[in-house]
Amino acid sequence: MREYEYIILGGGVAGGYAVKEFVDRGVAPGKLALVSADERLPYERPPLSKGFLTGKKKEKDILISNEAFYAKRGIDAHLHTHIWRIDFYRRILYPKAGEEFSFRKLLLATGSRVRTLDVPGGDLENVFYLRSFDEALQIREAALGGGPAVVIGGGYIGLEVSAHLAELGIDTTLVVDGDTLLRRLFTPEMSQFFARYLRERGVQFLFNSHVTELTGAETVEAVVHGTGEPLPAGFVVAGIGVEPVVDLYRSAGLLAGDGVGVNEYLETKAPDVFAAGDIAVFPDSLDGHPRRLDHWDNAMQQGRHAARNMLEQKTPYEHIPYFFSDVFDLSWEFWGETDGADRIVYRGDVEGGSFSAWWLSRDRLLGAFVLNRPEAERELAPRWIRERKEFSPGELEGNDAFSTIETHSD
C-alpha cells in the first residue's frame, strides 16, 4: 500500500492548483500524491476552446506544472489510475489495478464530464465534445479537413468554438435551442450584439432550433433540426453542458444537490476530507445559499484554498463568482450573479461593443459584465458586489455619476 499524508483525487484545474499551493506552502517531499484517471498532468482548460484549438498554444504551454516540477519536489503523480472505491473510515483509495493508497487527508477534485447528445446518430464518427486535451486535438484534426462544421449549444463552449473555427476559415453554423446566446447571463440586447458580431465574421446561426438526429453512414454527414433542411456537416461539436463526477461519493452520504456538500472551509462530512472545483457545493459568502460553479476561476481558487485548509491554515472560502471569455478579438468579464435581479443598467454603447451591464436587486448590486470599458469599471465591479453596495435609480448611469461613485467608494 502507498501511504501519503495528503492525496488529491482528480487531475483537473482544482487538483493542479492544489498541488501548486501545497508546494508554495512547503509540503515535504514524499508527503503528497496526485491520483488521476487522466493520462496527462493537470492542464488549463480555457485554452482548449481558445488558443490551443487554433494551434497557437502547444501542450507545454497549457500545463499547470510540468513533469520536472513534480519530480524536483518529490510529488508522486499517479496518472491513468481509476479509483473504484473509497473507504472513508479506513482512509484508503482502491484503484482498479495496482496498489491501494492510504491518506491522512484527502481532497476530492474529480471535476465534471460532458453531457452527450441523446439523439439518433449521436455515436457517429466526427461527433465531438470539448472537455479534454484529446478532444481538442480531435477537433483540430477534423478542422484540417475543412468543413462544414455544426456547433450545437449557445453557451461558452458553443460561442468560443464557433468563433475559433470561423477564424480558421471553417464554414460554421451554431445551433441554439432558444432565442438567446448564454441565456443565463446575456440579456436580449447583449445576445443580439454578440450574434451580429460573430455573424459578420462568418458564423451562421440557427436560433430556436432543436437537434433531433445526426445522419450519416459511419461518419456524420448532416444535422437534422426542427426548423428546416438538414445542415451538412463534416464534423459536429456539441457543447451542451457538463455534470459533476460524483459517483464515488454517493454511498458515503457526501452529496448535496448535484455535487459534494462542503462547509465554509471546503470540508465534507467525512473527517479530513475536502472537496474543490466543479463538484463542490459550498455556502455562498454573500448570502449563505449553497452554490456550485463549473468554471476555471472557481476551480483554481478552491483548489488553492482547500490545500491551505488541509495544512491547518483554515479560513473560510470567500469568493465572488468570476467568468471570462474570448471570441475573435473581444474579451469580456463577468462577476457575481444575475438571479434575482429586478433592474439592469447599461453603461456605454451596447451596439458599438463598448459597454458594461449591471444587475441590481432592490438597488443592491448583484452582478456586472464589462467589455471594452475603462479599467475603473472592472476594478470596482467585484469590490462593489463584495460590499453589497446599493445604488439609487439613475446613480449608475452616465460618466459623471460613475466618477462620483468611484470617489465615494474609496
Total-model pTM = 0.94
Residue 380 CA to residue 397 CA, distance in Å, equals 15
17: enclosing H helix or E strand: helix 13-24
pLDDT computed for residue 146 by the predictor = 86
Other Cβ atoms less than 10 A from the Cβ of 257: the count is: 11
pLDDT computed for residue 53 by the predictor = 86
- Residue 104 in grid coordinates: 491522512
Kindly state the DSSP code that residue 43 receives in the 8-state scheme: B
Q: Which residues contact 380 (CB under 8 A, 6 or more apart)?
A: 405, 406, 409
- Nearest partner of 104 among 312, 308, 275, 273, judged by Cα: 273
pLDDT computed for residue 33 by the predictor = 98
pLDDT computed for residue 228 by the predictor = 81
Coil, strand, or helix at residue 219?
strand
Q: Are 189 and 348 in contact (CB under 8 A)?
A: no
Coil, strand, or helix at residue 24?
helix
Residue 342 CA to residue 5 CA, distance in Å, equals 49
Residue 15 CA to residue 107 CA, distance in Å, equals 8
Q: Are 316 and 283 in contact (CB under 8 A)?
A: no
> How many residues does this entry show for the chain?
410
Residue 116 CA to residue 105 CA, distance in Å, equals 34
DSSP string, 107-142: EE---EEE----STTTTSBTEE--SSHHHHHHHHHH
pLDDT computed for residue 407 by the predictor = 39
Which residues are paired to 275 by β-bridges? 108
pLDDT computed for residue 405 by the predictor = 47
Cα distances (Å, whole numbers) of residue 319 to 216, 288, 295, 299 = 47, 12, 13, 11
pLDDT computed for residue 131 by the predictor = 92
In degrees, to the nearest 5, what angle opens at C-alpha 135 toward C-alphas 129 and 141? 110
- Nearest partner of 257 among 229, 280, 287, judged by Cα: 280
pLDDT computed for residue 401 by the predictor = 47
Q: Angle of helix 188-199 relative to helix 156-167, nearest 10 degrees?
A: 20
Q: What is the dihedral of CA 340, 342, 345, 346, to 10 degrees?
A: 70
Residue with cell 458594461: 356
Positions of E strands within 51-96: 76-78, 83-87, 92-95
Report the chain (410 residues): mean pLDDT per 10 consecutive residues: 98 98 97 97 94 88 97 98 98 96 98 96 97 94 92 96 94 96 95 97 96 97 91 97 96 95 98 98 88 95 98 92 92 94 94 96 96 92 93 77 46
Preceding peptide of 316 cis, ω within 30°: no
Residue 164 CA to residue 151 CA, distance in Å, equals 11
Q: Which residues contact 132 (CB under 8 A, 6 or more apart)?
A: 38, 48
Cα distances (Å, whole numbers) of residue 10 to 243, 247, 266 = 15, 13, 16
Which residues are paired to 357 by β-bridges? 346, 369
